[in-house]
Amino acid sequence: MNAPNDFPDGDRRPPRRVLVSGASSGIGAAIALAFAERGDRVAVHYFSGAGRAERVRDALPGTGHVAVGGDLADPAAIPALVGTTVDGLGGIDVLVNNAAVLTGAQPIDAMPYAEWAKVWTEVLAVNLLGAANLTHQVAARMLAQGTGGRIINVGSRGAFRGEPGHPAYGASKAGLHSLGQSLAVALAPHGIAVASVAPGFVETDRVADRLSGEQGAAIRAQSPFGRVADPAEIAAAVVYLASPEALWASGAVLDLNGASHLR
């Protein structure tokens, strides 16, 4: 069995310092695990689930991992969140913008305006503005370190296919993809690569109710594989895009939907 950072080709890669937002469960927890299994040190970010985040942290292989709390919807909270991460890890080499909120359905033809406006504000505050603000603060640290870096955004198939029942979510993810492409150009001269993944349905607790019964069967049938993704499959793609070998994928948006939506 290989020790951390021992690869079959004999290449030894130094551990990186990785911040994963929204990592206390689901896709984020799987991403944290995938980086830790590579030998990296991980900051497991959470908003309100401190206990869950600490359990994820404690279950990661290796040492030096930390759990960091912070409300991404509050711009004033983000500098402290990043500062705590830097204090815990000694710097940041990789940022994964995974944190997102998904509210109940928002049918435009049946939802009162006040509720509609509230949902849009809440979703964009985390999924797009929170990611943009977190990226700004992490990029500033990467620029100060002068060693380059990687920023990977977890977007969604819904940015391209449309989300008629959850338009704020789909729009936020489309904006996240666009943010990544803009920053890929802006940050390339500094050795910082930016890419995104666009998953379809993933087997997580957040969508467990939608994946049960007849509705779940219909969702699985969207893919010719007849299933939805495992979080580890998304995590593997994120780790690849954050690798040195994937520098030339900067600006890309990688579809991870089991051929359920082709573009």
Which of the following is catalytic: 46, 113, 169, 240? 169
d(CA 86, CA 19): 9
C-beta separation of 182 from 153 below 8 A: no
Residues ≥6 apart with Cβ < 8 Å to 254? 195, 196, 197, 198, 237, 241
Known active-site residue 46: no
Taking the C-alpha atoms of residue 142 and residue 150, their distance in angstroms, rounded to an integer, is 9
122 vs 166: CA distance, rounded Å: 13
Q: Which amino acid is at 68?
A: V
Q: What is the 3-state secondary structure (H, E, C) of 179-200?
A: HHHHHHHHHHHHCEEEEEEEEC
Residue 159 tokens read as: 């940015």
Report helix angle 167-187 to 113-124, nearest 10: 30
203: helix, strand or coil = coil
Angle (CA) 247-248-253 rounded to 5° is: 95
Contact 45, 69 (CB under 8 A): yes
In the chain, the amino acid numbered 120 is: W
- Active-site amino acid positions: 169
